[in-house]
Amino acid sequence: MDFGFGPELTALRGEVRRFVDERIVPLEAQIVREDRERRRVTLEGLRREARAAGLYVPHLPESYGGRNLGVLGMCALFREMGRSFVAAAVFNCDAPDQGNMDLLLRHGSEALKAQYLAPLAEGDITSAFCMTEPAPGAGADPSNLRTRAEEAGDEFVINGHKWYSTGGDAARFLIVMARTSPDPRTGATMFVVDREAKGVEHVREIPTMSEPLLAHREAEFRFHDVRVKRDAILGQVGDGFRLAQARLVPARLTHCMRWLGLADRALEMCKEYATTRHSFGKTLVHHQLILKKFADNAAAIHIGNLLTLHCASMLEAGQEREARPYSSMAKNHVAKALCQVLDDAIQIHGGLGFSDDVPFGTWYRAARAARIADGPDEVHDVVVGRDYLRGTLRVLV
Ligand X SMILES: Cc1cc2nc3c(=O)[nH]c(=O)nc-3n(C[C@H](O)[C@H](O)[C@H](O)COP(=O)(O)OP(=O)(O)OC[C@H]3O[C@@H](n4cnc5c(N)ncnc54)[C@H](O)[C@@H]3O)c2cc1C
Q: What are the residues binding ligand X (CB under 6 A)?
A: 96, 129-132, 135, 139-141, 164-166, 218, 369, 372-376, 378-379, 382
Distance CA 210, CA 175 (A): 24
Q: How far is the CB of 240 from ligand X (least distance, A)?
A: 12
Q: How far is the CB of 199 from ligand X (least distance, A)?
A: 19
Q: How far is the CB of 165 from ligand X (least distance, A)?
A: 5
Q: Which is nearer to ligand X, 59 or 349 (CB)?
A: 59
Distance CA 256, CA 345 (A): 19
Q: Which is nearer to ligand X, 140 or 352 (CB)?
A: 140
Residue 361: name the closest of 376, 377, 339 by CA.
339
DSSP character string of 337-378: HHHHHHHHHHHHTHHHHHSTTSSHHHHHHHHGGGGTTTS-HH
Burial of 340 (0-12, 13-18, 19+ CB in 10 A): middle
Beta strands in the chain (DSSP E): 127-130, 148-152, 155-166, 173-179, 188-194, 200-205, 218-229, 233-234, 278-279, 282-283
Largest CA-CA distance found in the chain, in angstroms, rounded: 80
Q: Which is nearer to ligand X, 46 or 370 (CB)?
A: 370
Q: Which is nearer to ligand X, 247 or 349 (CB)?
A: 247
Q: How far is the CB of 11 from ligand X (least distance, A)?
A: 33
Q: Which is nearer to ligand X, 28 or 377 (CB)?
A: 377
Contacts of 336 (CB under 8 A, 6+ apart): 300, 371, 377
Q: How far is the CB of 187 from ligand X (least distance, A)?
A: 17
Q: Which is nearer to ligand X, 295 or 382 (CB)?
A: 382
Q: How far is the CB of 167 from ligand X (least distance, A)?
A: 7
Which residues face 234 on adjacent strands?
190
Contact 167, 126 (CB under 8 A): yes
Q: How far is the CB of 190 from ligand X (least distance, A)?
A: 11
Q: How far is the CB of 134 from ligand X (least distance, A)?
A: 8
Q: Which is nearer to ligand X, 132 or 313 (CB)?
A: 132
Distance CA 362, CA 237 (A): 41
Distance CA 259, CA 324 (A): 19
Q: Which is nearer to ligand X, 135 or 397 (CB)?
A: 135
Q: Which is nearer to ligand X, 199 or 376 (CB)?
A: 376
Q: Alpha-carbon torsion 85, 350, 277, 270, what sign?
A: negative
Q: Which is nearer to ligand X, 79 or 331 (CB)?
A: 331
Contacts of 283 (CB under 8 A, 6+ apart): 274, 275, 276, 277
**Cα separations (Å) of 275 from 83, 227, 270, 285, 302?**
21, 61, 8, 6, 21
Distance CA 128, CA 101 (A): 11
Q: Alpha-carbon torsion 318, 257, 69, 109, what sign?
A: positive
Q: Alpha-carbon torsion 303, 166, 373, 199, what sign?
A: negative
Task: Give residue 174's identity as a one-letter amino acid code.
Answer: L
Residue with the closest Cβ to ligand X? 139
Q: How far is the CB of 286 from ligand X (least distance, A)?
A: 39
Q: How far is the CB of 128 from ligand X (least distance, A)?
A: 6
